[in-house]
Amino acid sequence: MKLCITASGPELDSITDSSFGRAPWLLIVDTGTMAVEAVQNSSAAARQGAGIAAAQLIADHGAEALLTGRVGPKARAALDASGIRVYEGLARETVREALQRFMNKELSAAPAGDAAPGAAGGAGGGGCQGRGMGRGQGRGQGQCGRGRR
């Protein structure tokens, strides 16, 4: 299996990077042979669309799974469309340590379409929080301010 791990550098002893689209390096590891291909993420500095471009890049390199800290919703849709399984939540650890955790089956794949909370621009908490004026800003308006308790 070809596995992509987001990293801050091109070696197995590099620290993992928590952001998929903005990670400077994408390490493609063949788990059968343990061969490593270091791919520089050319879209890391893009103003927008970095995650989608990174998803296409790892798909082009044959990755079947991704280990990273978090993935935004648009990149997640691109990964799902490519059939790439996503394992989120990497801590600050070396790529080698993350790979070992994967091999030991200590990581579980996130369900398809399950982007990180708040990744779409919201607060991630849901509920009755507006994003601007006219959204029930404490004036008895909106779905939470109708006198219900």
Residue 142 tokens, joined: 């909106």
Q: Encode pLDDT of 10-63 as tens digits.
A: 999 999 999 999 999 999 999 999 999 999 999 999 999 999 999 999 999 999
The pLDDT of residue 143 is 52
- Asked if pLDDT for residue 3 goes beyond 70, the answer is yes
Compute CA distances 72 → 37, 60, 80, 114, 119, whole Å.
24, 19, 12, 9, 5
- Asked if pLDDT for residue 126 goes beyond 50, the answer is no
59 φψ region: left (φ > 0), alpha (ψ -120 to 50), beta (else):
alpha
Q: Give me the percent of the chain exceeding a pLDDT of 70.
A: 75
- Asked if pLDDT for residue 92 goes beyond 50, the answer is yes
The pLDDT of residue 112 is 78
The pLDDT of residue 91 is 85
What CA–CA distance (Å, rounded) separates 58 from 41? 9
Place 124 in a pLDDT band, splitting at 50, 70 and 90.
Answer: very low
Residue 16 tokens, joined: 């993992």
What CA–CA distance (Å, rounded) separates 111 from 48? 25
Is pTM, for the whole model, over 0.85?
no
pLDDT top residue among 101 and 126? 101
- Give me the domains of the chain, ranges plus CATH numbers: 2-103 (3.30.420.130)
What CA–CA distance (Å, rounded) separates 24 from 84? 20
